[in-house]
């Protein structure tokens, strides 16, 4: 099942095409990159099934997994032999699945089913947040993560049944901010006081599905939802989105900024497409023409150069259509900033690279 695309023909494409094999047809919904691993390119896939033990293929150092049916969450430890950083290819690991060591359950039966679990983005990994129904729960992991206790909680009050659908722990501000989504609203929380700091009502026309922080610009936030749109927000001015993309034709399930080059944005949608876009105008990188580059003496040369090197415009770089079913998760690799994976309902994991031409353009 190898496919070639015109823009990839001249480049060596590192493309793995993996079906998460299992005894039966496996339904996969969760995907994460192994963030602590910097050498090997490793992704973790969470499956969803009722009858079988859910699996996490590839090895996490720490992984959060959620199971909707069981409405529980647990912290797992990777098998120790992987901790040393083995160099097997992903195929090996899927051939030889390792069982994870269960460290502890996040016992939250009192608060209903868990929508998502978030690790503290910085620090020593002792804190975890889980979003359950309309509660924000901040857990402290103790005794080498074998025991989790709730340190503080916050509850979203309002009429009707409010349920968190997504959340993201901000990597900025010394990890004191959290942003959550429920229905069409996006809310920001201060974890020190566990209180709401801002709220974008009607951020999307329909349900908000996912959120991501710009890793380099602390007030910038991307969100996506059932109205097929991806919106970019400056949380200091929440009345209007900074920008709005409408490229997908069905619900957008996942949005991810590239960790180091924040103009690269990945979105996955249930129209079974993954779109990689280049949002130059709102990235942290200099946009357009830099004035101090100019040397007055060779102005003309510069101008000619400029003509040859048009500043990049906001654009779609590529649309990946390898998936045949809804794409529920996309994720950048933690180790290689030009590599990303996408996971669809049928368990197909597709790993792609940013086109080389663009890569050089960004780098040079």
CB of 169 to other proteins, least distance (A): 24
Distance CA 184, CA 86 (A): 43
In the complex with other proteins, the residue whose CB is nearer, 206 or 218, is: 206
- What is the footprint of other proteins within residues 66-85 (CB under 8 A)? 68-69
* 193 part of the interface to other proteins, by CB under 8 A: no
In the complex with other proteins, the residue whose CB is nearer, 37 or 227, is: 227
Q: What angle do CA 82, 86, 87 make, to 5 degrees?
A: 150
* 242 part of the interface to other proteins, by CB under 8 A: no
Other beta carbons less than 10 A from residue 299's beta carbon: 10
Which one, of 61, 106, 111, lies nearest residue 86 by Cα? 61
Q: Binding other proteins by CB under 8 A: which of 251, 257, 320, 332? A: 251
* 346 part of the interface to other proteins, by CB under 8 A: yes
* 202 part of the interface to other proteins, by CB under 8 A: yes
Which one, of 156, 166, 114, lies nearest residue 139 by Cα? 114
Distance CA 92, CA 99 (A): 14
In the complex with other proteins, the residue whose CB is nearer, 95 or 202, is: 202
* 320 part of the interface to other proteins, by CB under 8 A: no
* 176 part of the interface to other proteins, by CB under 8 A: no
Torsion, Cα 205 206 209 214, to 10 degrees, reads: 10
* 212 part of the interface to other proteins, by CB under 8 A: no
Q: By CB under 8 A, how many residues form the interface with other proteins?
A: 23
* 249 part of the interface to other proteins, by CB under 8 A: yes
* 140 part of the interface to other proteins, by CB under 8 A: no
Q: Binding other proteins by CB under 8 A: which of 20, 27, 28, 131? A: 27
* 224 part of the interface to other proteins, by CB under 8 A: no
Distance CA 148, CA 103 (A): 10
* 99 part of the interface to other proteins, by CB under 8 A: no
In the complex with other proteins, the residue whose CB is nearer, 217 or 243, is: 243
* 109 part of the interface to other proteins, by CB under 8 A: no
In the chain, % helix, strand, coil (3-state, to 5) comes to 10, 40, 50
Q: Binding other proteins by CB under 8 A: which of 77, 111, 204, 256? A: 204
* 326 part of the interface to other proteins, by CB under 8 A: yes
In the complex with other proteins, the residue whose CB is nearer, 32 or 113, is: 113
Q: Binding other proteins by CB under 8 A: which of 10, 25, 174, 299? A: 25
What are the Cα distances from residue 141, in Å, to 42, 108, 155, 262?
25, 14, 21, 31
* Concatenated DSSP letters of 110-175: GG--EEEEEE-SSTTS-EEEEEETTEEEEEEEETTTTEEEEEEEEE---SS---EEEEEE-SSGGG
Distance CA 215, CA 172 (A): 8
Q: Which residues bind other proteins (CB under 8 A)?
A: 25, 27, 49-51, 68-69, 202, 204-206, 227, 249-251, 270-272, 324-326, 345-346
């Amino acid at each position: 099942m190898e496919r070639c695309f015109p823009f990839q023909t001249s480049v060596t494409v590192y493309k793995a095409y993996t079906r998460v094999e299992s005894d039966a047809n496996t339904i996969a919904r969760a995907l994460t990159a192994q963030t602590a691993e910097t050498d090997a390119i490793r992704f973790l896939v969470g499956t969803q099934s009722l009858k079988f033990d859910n699996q996490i293929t590839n090895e996490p150092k720490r992984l959060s997994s959620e199971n909707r049916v069981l409405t529980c969450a647990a912290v797992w430890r990777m098998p120790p032999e992987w901790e040393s950083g083995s160099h097997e290819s992903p195929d090996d690991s899927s051939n030889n699945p390792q069982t994870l060591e269960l460290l502890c359950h996040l016992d939250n039966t009192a608060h209903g089913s868990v929508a998502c679990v978030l690790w503290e983005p910085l620090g020593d990994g002792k804190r975890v947040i889980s979003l359950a129904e309309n509660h924000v729960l901040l857990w402290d992991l103790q005794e080498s993560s074998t025991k989790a206790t709730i340190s503080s909680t916050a509850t979203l009050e309002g009429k009707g049944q409010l349920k968190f659908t997504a959340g993201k722990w901000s990597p900025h501000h010394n990890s004191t901010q959290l942003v959550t989504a429920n229905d069409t609203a996006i809310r920001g929380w201060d974890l020190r006081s566990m209180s709401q700091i801002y709220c974008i009502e009607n951020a999307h026309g329909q349900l908000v599905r996912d959120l991501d922080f710009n890793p380099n610009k602390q007030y910038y936030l991307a969100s996506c939802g059932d109205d097929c749109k991806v919106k970019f927000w400056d949380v200091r001015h929440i009345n209007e989105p900074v920008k709005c993309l409408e490229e997908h034709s069905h619900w957008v399930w996942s949005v991810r900024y590239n960790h180091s080059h924040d103009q690269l944005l990945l979105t996955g949608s249930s129209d079974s497409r993954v779109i990689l876009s280049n949002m130059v105008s709102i990235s942290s990188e200099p946009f357009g023409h830099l004035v101090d580059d100019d040397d007055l003496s060779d102005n003309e040369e510069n101008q000619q150069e400029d003509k040859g090197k048009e500043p990049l415009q906001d654009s779609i770089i590529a649309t990946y259509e390898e998936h045949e079913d809804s794409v529920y998760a996309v994720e950048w690799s933690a180790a290689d900033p030009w590599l990303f994976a996408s996971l669809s309902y049928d368990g197909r994991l597709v790993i792609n690279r940013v086109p080389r031409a663009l890569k050089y353009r960004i780098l040079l």
